[in-house]
Amino acid sequence: MASALGRRDIERLLGELNRELAADGVKATLSLSGGAVMALVFDARASTTDVDGIFQPSVKVLEAALRVAAREGLSEHWLNDDVKAYLRDHGRFEPFRELSHLKVMHASAEYMLAMKCLAMRLGEGYQDLDDVRYLLRNLGVRRLEHAKEILARYYPLDDYPPTAMAALEELLSG
């Protein structure tokens, strides 16, 4: 499989992960964020390179994900929890899909906007700016002050990189 994971790929991989968990007799929860949410939930882009999220029980889910990776010829990190550094206790996850052994949740649009702005990467190969543009439209945000209100619900405004704040200002000035 190519390194780009589209909506159908992610859906299939979640099904494979569910099958592995079922074989182990493990019930798990996966809370998605990042590009997987943009591709799978919002249908805002064609693909992502990996599936970011947090999961419980973490060791059992990672073991199952490694078996899926080996069988599918994927990177061992196709499913990862690298996003946990950005998560907040008050971040909201909403239900997406419930399989027999895997409950899949996703970060809300507001929470995604805050995380995308906090992790803003600009330049070739990064889709953060397009993701932020989509999320602003999805949320009906047209004013910088409204965007800042949303961002401040999750992280102090001083934590956001100046490039992210400048990008927001530019996106909402027109």
**What are the domain boundaries of the chain?**
5-107, 111-173
Instruction: Indicate the pLDDT class of residue 2, thresholds 50, 70 and 90.
Output: very low
Q: Residue 87: pLDDT above 90? A: no
Mean pLDDT of all residues in 79-95: 91
Phi, psi of 74 (to 5 degrees): -100, 165
Distance CA 22, CA 104 (A): 15
The per-residue pLDDT for 170 is: 94
- Residue 124 predicted with pLDDT over 80: no
Mean pLDDT of 58-69: 98
Q: 109 CB contacts (<8 Å, ≥6 apart)?
A: 42, 135, 138, 139
CA geometry: angle 24, 27, 32, nearest 5 deg: 115
Model confidence, pTM:
0.92
Judged by DSSP in three states, 48 sits in strand
Q: What is the pLDDT of residue 86?
A: 82
The pLDDT assigned to 114 comes to 96
Alpha helices in 38-160 (DSSP H): 58-72, 109-118, 128-139, 144-152
Bridge partner list, 5? 48
pLDDT level of residue 89 (50, 70, 90 thresholds): confident
Question: Can you give the pLDDT at residue 125?
Answer: 63
Q: Does residue 104 or residue 1 have the better pLDDT?
A: 104
- What average pLDDT does the chain have? 94
